[in-house]
A and B are shown apart, each in its own frame.
Chain A
Amino acid sequence: MTRRMKLMIAAGLGLAALAGGTAYAFVYQADAAGQLRATGLVGEQSDGYLGLVGSASADIRSQVDAVNIQRRAYYTDLASRRSATIEEVAAATACTLFATRVGPGQYYRLPDGVWRRRNGSEPVPRPDHCG
């Protein structure tokens, strides 16, 4: 085997490993928030962030924190581009999340602070600020 062939094989293996890693990261990222909501331990809040419905493991808590940190970064970016506050962007996002992302049997929390479970396919009530 020539040196050049060896190099090509090594490069190919490297690329394959990279692609595999990226694919895995994508699968994990693709539905992180949805999977957390589906556990029933995590719900959507009217402030635009995920919240813990009851007590949860450190693992769940850290996953919720990770999602919320990313959300805050997106909210901050959009707020700066639209002359709105981060809280307003977050609350506006909650309106759409309540309407489209809280599945049957999943939890949501209105400004009254009470966790409620969506009953079947009944619509989730929208926070007052949604208009």
Chain B
Amino acid sequence: MRCWARISAVLLAPALLAGCVEVTAPERPIEINLNINIRQEVVVSLREDVRDLIERNPGVF
């Protein structure tokens, strides 16, 4: 597929990424303040997973 060809060229031509929505940057800068950029719909979609995580690890949470 043409899109995959573009992904393989990502290191040489990052601008071509515009057409491939799923690809995200692998590294993010470390945030040192609490005002991090959070996608609210992702937070909502994680609700069940997060509840399980907390209940299964009471010592950590």
Q: When the two chains form their complex, are residues B50 and A95 in contact, meaning their CB atoms are under 8 A apart?
A: yes
Q: When the two chains form their complex, are residues A113 and B33 in contact, meaning their CB atoms are under 8 A apart?
A: yes
Choose among A45, A71, A78, A100 the residue that contacts B46 (Cβ–Cβ < 8 A).
Answer: A78
Residue B36 lies at the interface, judged by CB distance under 8 Å to chain A: yes
SS class, residues of chain B in contact with chain A: loop
Please classify how large the interface on chain A is, using the bins under 10, 10 to 19, 20 to 34, 35 or more.
Answer: 35 or more
B residues less than 8 Å from A82 (CB atoms): 45-46, 49
Please classify how large the interface on chain B is, using the bins under 10, 10 to 19, 20 to 34, 35 or more.
Answer: 20 to 34
Choose among B31, B40, B47, B57 the residue that contacts A87 (Cβ–Cβ < 8 A).
Answer: B31
- Chain A residue at minimum C-beta to C-beta distance from B34: A111
Question: Within the assembled complex, what's the spacing in Å between the Cα atoms of A29 and B58?
Answer: 8
Q: Nearest chain A CB to B56's CB is how many angstroms away?
A: 9
Choose among B35, B43, B46, B60 the residue that contacts A33 (Cβ–Cβ < 8 A).
Answer: B60
A interface residues, Cβ below 8 angstroms from B: 28-34, 45-47, 67, 70-71, 74, 78, 82, 84-85, 87-89, 91-93, 95-97, 100-101, 109-113, 129-131
